[in-house]
C-alpha cells in the first residue's frame, strides 16, 4: 500500500471544520435539553393511570425505537415538505433528534422512576404532599440520579448520530467533512481529522456531564455512593 498522507491540504478548511463541530455541539445541546424535558413527560405519561395516554406514549416510544433514525429524519424533512410544511434543514434535523432521543430518554427515566420504593411514596403521601409534588421531589429527582450514567451515554450516542443529518445537508461536522473531501480529494486525511474531532467532542461532552452531575447530585458528590 503506497499512500502519502498530506494533511497540509486541509489547513485552509480548518475554520469550516470547527464551525461544523460547533453546529454539532449546538444540535446536541438543544436536543439534550429538549429531549430530556419531552422524554420525561412521555415517561410520566406512560406511567399514568389514564390508559389512553399511557398507550399513546408507549406507541410513540416503540415506533421511534424500532425504526431507523435516518427514516425518521427523512420523514420529518421530506415527508412534511411534500405535505406543504417546508422546514429549514437545521430545524428539521433538531426536531428529528428530539423526537428520537426523547423516546430513549422516556424509557431510561421510566426505569428510574419505577425503582422508587413504594414506602417512600406512602411516606410522602402521608405527609400530605400532592401528586405533582411527590413526582418532582420524591420520584423524579432520585430517578434522574439513578439513571444519570445511562442517560448521558444516550446523549453522547445522539451526538454521534448527528452525523446522519448530513444526509439532508445540515452543515454539521460530517456534512462539512464531505464537502472538504470532495474539494481536496483527501478523503483519508479528512475522515481521520474528523474522527479525532468527534473524539474530542465526546470527551468535552463527557466532562460537561460529569461536572453537571457533581453540581446536581449533592448526595452522590458527598458520599460517593449510588442510590
Partner 1 sequence: MSAVIELKDVHKSFGLVEVLKGVSLSVARGEAIAVIGRSGSGKSTALRCVNRLETIQSGEITVCGHPVHDPRLDVRKLRLDVGIVFQSYNLFPHLTVEENIMLAPVTVKKLRKAQARDLTAEALARVGLAEKAQAYPEQLSGGQQQRVAIARSLAMQPQVMLFDEVTSALDPELTGEVLRVMEDLAKGGMTMLVVTHEMGFARRVADRIVYMHQGRVWEVGDGTMLANPQTPELRAFMSHDL
> Does residue 47 belong to the site contacting partner 1 (CB under 8 A)?
no
Query: CB 124 → partner 1: shortest distance, Å?
Result: 8
- Of 45 and 142, CB closest to partner 1: 142
Helices and strands (H, E) in the chain, number of each type: 11, 0
Query: CB 87 → partner 1: shortest distance, Å?
Result: 40
42 touches 60 (CB < 8 A) = yes
As to burial, measured by CB atoms within 10 angstroms (0-12 exposed, 13-18 middle, 19+ buried), residue 74 is middle
- Of 124 and 161, CB closest to partner 1: 124
Query: CB 218 → partner 1: shortest distance, Å?
Result: 8
Residue located via cell numbers 435516518: 70
Question: Cα dihedral sign for 112, 113, 114, 119?
Answer: positive
- Of 13 and 217, CB closest to partner 1: 217
Query: CB 170 → partner 1: shortest distance, Å?
Result: 39
DSSP state at residue 50? -
Q: Among 171, 186, 193, which residue's Cα sits nearest to residue 14?
A: 193
Identified binder of partner 1 from the candidate list 56, 75, 145, 160, rule CB under 8 A? 145
Q: Which triple of cell numbers denotes residue 50?
A: 389514564
Identified binder of partner 1 from the candidate list 56, 141, 156, 167, rule CB under 8 A? 141
- Name, in order, each residue with C-beta under 8 angstroms of 124's C-beta and a sequence gap of 6 or more: 133, 134, 137, 138
Instruction: Name the one range near partner 1 by CB under 8 A: 16-24, 124-132, 172-180, 185-193.
Output: 124-132
Q: Among 60, 34, 28, which residue's Cα sits nearest to residue 157?
A: 28
Instruction: Name the one range near partner 1 by CB under 8 A: 45-53, 93-101, 164-172, 218-226.
Output: 218-226
> Does residue 125 belong to the site contacting partner 1 (CB under 8 A)?
yes
Q: Which residues lie near partner 1 (CB under 8 A)?
A: 117, 119-120, 122-130, 133, 137-138, 141-142, 145, 217, 219, 222-223, 225, 227
Amino acid at each position: 500500500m503506497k499512500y502519502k498522507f498530506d494533511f497540509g491540504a486541509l489547513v485552509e478548511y480548518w475554520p469550516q471544520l470547527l464551525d461544523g463541530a460547533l453546529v454539532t455541539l449546538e444540535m446536541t445541546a438543544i436536543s439534550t435539553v429538549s429531549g430530556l424535558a419531552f422524554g420525561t413527560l412521555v415517561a410520566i405519561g406512560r406511567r399514568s393511570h389514564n390508559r389512553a395516554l399511557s398507550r399513546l406514549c408507549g406507541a410513540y416510544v416503540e415506533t421511534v425505537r424500532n425504526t431507523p433514525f435516518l427514516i425518521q429524519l427523512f420523514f420529518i424533512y421530506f415527508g412534511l415538505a411534500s405535505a406543504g410544511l417546508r422546514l429549514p434543514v437545521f430545524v428539521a434535523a433538531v426536531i428529528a433528534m428530539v423526537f428520537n432521543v426523547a423516546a430513549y430518554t422516556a424509557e431510561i427515566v421510566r426505569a428510574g422512576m419505577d425503582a422508587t420504593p413504594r414506602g417512600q411514596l406512602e411516606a410522602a403521601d402521608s405527609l400530605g404532599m400532592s401528586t405533582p409534588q411527590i413526582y418532582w421531589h420524591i420520584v423524579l429527582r432520585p430517578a434522574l440520579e439513578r439513571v444519570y450514567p445511562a442517560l448521558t451515554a444516550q446523549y453522547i450516542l445522539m451526538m454521534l448520530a448527528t452525523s446522519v443529518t448530513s444526509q439532508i445537508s445540515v452543515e454539521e461536522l460530517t456534512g462539512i467533512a464531505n464537502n472538504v473531501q470532495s474539494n481536496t480529494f483527501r478523503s483519508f486525511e479528512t475522515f481521520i481529522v474528523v474522527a479525532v474531532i468527534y473524539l474530542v467532542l465526546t470527551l468535552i461532552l463527557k466532562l460537561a456531564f460529569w461536572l453537571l452531575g457533581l453540581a446536581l447530585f449533592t448526595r452522590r458528590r458527598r458520599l460517593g455512593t449510588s442510590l
